[in-house]
Amino acid sequence: MSNKSINVIVKGIVQGVGYRVTVKRIANELNIVGTVQNLKNGNVKIVAAGNSNKIEKFITLIKNNPTPFSKVDDISIESNYQNNNKYSDFKIII
């Protein structure tokens, strides 16, 4: 199994609607590690690492408006993201 790291910026209605909590839940279900945080411009940043197949599933799930009130308008993904942090779990950065 190969691992993959990604850096994701999610645009749309993704703050104040439970999006980060839902992203964390999805990551935990798929054994993905990393972080999710709100950005000052209204977007959400996600850094995620894990099995390549699970990362692909993760991307699909976070794109498809995973909360009742979220609306993902655009998602940009930097694959093969080189991150020096070593994560042991998935955290919400406040």
Could you confirm whether domain 3-84 is CATH 3.30.70.100?
A: yes
**CA dihedral for 65, 71, 73, 75, sign (positive or negative):** negative
* Residue carrying the six token digits 């995620």: 48
Q: What is the pLDDT of residues 28-63, one digit of tens each?
A: 999 999 999 999 999 999 999 999 999 999 999 999
| Residue tagged active-site, from 38, 51, 65, 83 | 38
Q: If we measure between CA atoms, which residue out of 26, 30, 25, 37 comes closest to residue 4?
A: 30
> Whole-structure pTM over 0.75, yes or no?
yes
Q: Is 38 a catalytic residue?
A: yes
Q: Is 20 a catalytic residue?
A: yes
Confidence of residue 80 (pLDDT cuts 50, 70, 90): confident
* CA pair distance 93, 91, nearest whole angstrom: 6
